[in-house]
Amino acid sequence: MILRRLIFALSLLIGALASQLPEYAQQYRQRLGGAIDELQRIVAQFDRDAASEALDREAALKRLQDNADALARNRAVDMRETIARESRLSRQQAAMREAGSFGRLAVFARDFDAGIARRAWGDFEPALPATVEGFVIGVAGFLFGGGLLRLVAAPFRRRRREQDA
């Protein structure tokens, strides 16, 4: 009897924890949008600077890359990384928008940005799931957790039954 109650209580806890995943992913998406906005601003400023010198982006990057000054060469490497990151994050954001409620979680799990995820986790505040997605994942966590706990507890139940017999 005590074991059943313990399993039920732990299943509820696992369900409550699982229900936070959509909320965390939503907070990640907000940070993702902010990061993209800032990266786009940086890339646009670089493009404007290049245009003021009658260069396109690639020509400006090549000029920096071929420069004898190490600072300029490092700036080319940094800008290429910034442009690539903006492109990758924008693709992820578009994939999340197209994926729908539960698909967003799969996109998040498959292709998250570690820096954004870490900062989102640092500021994460649990919330009561008010979406179908949060409720369904909470119930799934409860059922999965309960099933897993029952499997773990099964040998102890058998041993107890054998001792009682």
pLDDT tens across 66-116, in order? 999 999 999 999 999 999 999 999 999 999 999 988 899 899 999 899 999
| Averaged pLDDT, 46-57 | 96
Instruction: Looking at the structure, tell me whether residues 78 and 94 fall in a common domain.
Output: yes
| Averaged pLDDT, 36-54 | 97
pLDDT at 59: 97
Instruction: Looking at the structure, tell me whether residues 137 and 103 fall in a common domain.
Output: no
Instruction: Looking at the structure, tell me whether residues 118 and 40 fall in a common domain.
Output: yes
Q: Is 70 exceeded by the pLDDT of residue 150?
A: yes
Instruction: Looking at the structure, tell me whether residues 94 and 136 fall in a common domain.
Output: no
Q: What residue type is assigned to position 95 of the chain?
A: A
Angstrom distance (rounded) from CA 148 to CA 24: 24
Neighbour count for residue 5 (Cβ, 10 Å): 9
Instruction: Looking at the structure, tell me whether residues 96 and 144 fall in a common domain.
Output: no
Instruction: Looking at the structure, tell me whether residues 80 and 113 fall in a common domain.
Output: yes
Report in angstroms the alpha-carbon separations of 26 from 65, 72, 94. 38, 38, 14
> Range of 90's domain?
29-125
Burial 117-146 (b: 16+ CB within 10 A, else e): bebbeeeeeeeebeeebbebbbeebbeebb
Instruction: Looking at the structure, tell me whether residues 97 and 39 fall in a common domain.
Output: yes
Instruction: Looking at the structure, tell me whether residues 75 and 140 fall in a common domain.
Output: no
Angstrom distance (rounded) from CA 60 to CA 48: 11
In Å, how far from its chain's centre is CA 150?
30
Q: Is 90 exceeded by the pLDDT of residue 5?
A: no
97-104 contact pairs (CB < 8 A, 24+)? 101/22, 101/131, 101/132, 101/133, 102/133, 102/136, 104/25, 104/29
Mean predicted lDDT score pLDDT of the chain:
89
pTM (two decimals): 0.74
Instruction: Looking at the structure, tell me whether residues 10 and 88 fall in a common domain.
Output: no
| Averaged pLDDT, 35-56 | 97
Q: Is 80 exceeded by the pLDDT of residue 140?
A: yes
CB of 18 closer than 8 Å to CB of 140: yes
Question: How many structural domains are present in the chain?
Answer: 2
Instruction: Looking at the structure, tell me whether residues 36 and 13 fall in a common domain.
Output: no
Instruction: Looking at the structure, tell me whether residues 48 and 111 fall in a common domain.
Output: yes
pLDDT over 90 percentage in the chain: 53
Quick one: which of 32, 34, 82, 36 has its CA closest to 57?
82
Instruction: Looking at the structure, tell me whether residues 110 and 71 fall in a common domain.
Output: yes
Q: Which residues contact 86 (CB under 8 A, 6 or more apart)?
A: 36, 39, 40, 42, 43
pLDDT at 116: 96
Angstrom distance (rounded) from CA 106 to CA 100: 10
